[in-house]
Structure 1
């Protein structure tokens, strides 16, 4: 009888965990949301060697935050296979500017001696941070309502 109780409890905990997390956005859906809140392409952005944060959006794009209220959507020339798993990134720059079609994103981490391939930046688009945050908030609220139903 005891193993049956344990299995029942385990099943209940597992199903509650699934309800708590709700549906997760795919990389393609997240990238689409970021594209909707991105402006026209720019040639470069100012970079002083420190990022406030970054978000991988699949293996061909990412957002980089230079300030809490300033971010850019970087789309790469091709797949950057280490991007989704990198704990950090490095961005090349010249004279304080990151330029499209000239500079790279380099995924970092994974142990010593691990060679990381640079990923060329194809386009740079400034993000409307306020609109992006509002969309993310709406999605979280919709997910919360869905979990309650």
Structure 2
């Protein structure tokens, strides 16, 4: 039984339609996310302990945030990573539970080359969450009462 080519096209159209509903353009949202992570990132380190991957968030083809615990995250700079924004899963190489700059890599799939980690920065997750909350806040004001229309 073969799959219908209309299903992926329909899913793509639905995704584009939903993305078009946002009042903030995609490029601006990505730029704000990158800026928030950069502001929360500390000084570069040579390595970090890695036992399991809790979560991850691609920021571009050259930046990736990885969470090893809910409150422990690292901003990885990569030497360019093909399709990083579109992969469903990633992997990290490590040696004796350590991920090291210049030695370890991000794996994005069977057909893509591994992405070399060029810089690692710890992320202050608390300050990142505060910045993200501020971005979500909206300004509200009471609606002005319009003058009633003149009767004819």
Q: Indicate the TM-score class for this superposition, using the shorter chain for normalisation.
A: 0.7 to 0.9
Given that 1:45 and 1:98 are in contact with CA atoms closer than 8 Å, whether structure 2 keeps it comes out as: yes
Structural mapping, 1:26-105, within 5 Å: 26-48=29-51, 50-77=52-79, 79-105=80-106
**Structure 1: which 5+ residue stretches go unaligned?**
1-13, 109-113
| Alpha-carbon distance, 1:30 to partner | 1.8
Deviation readout 1:42-95 (Å, 9 max, x if unpaired): 1100001x2110000010001000000000000012x21221111110000001
Count residues with an aligned counterpart. Answer: 122
| Alpha-carbon distance, 1:115 to partner | 1.2
Instruction: Go from structure 1 to structure 2 and tell me whether the alpha carbon gap of 1:35 and 1:121 turns closer, same or farther (over 3 Å shift).
Output: same
Q: Secondary structure at the match of 2:31?
A: helix
Matching residue within 116, 131, 136 for 2:132: 136
TM-score for both structures, normalised by structure 1? 0.74
TM-score for both structures, normalised by structure 2? 0.73
The separation in 2 between residues aligned to 1:132 and 1:98, in whole angstroms, is: 22
- Structural RMSD (CA): 2.2
Report the structure, 1 or 2, having the larger helix content: 1
Report the structure number with the largest CA radius of gyration: 2
Deviation readout 1:94-144 (Å, 9 max, x if unpaired): 010000111000113xxxxx41210000000000000000111111113xx
Show structure 1 runs of 4+ deviating over 6 A: none
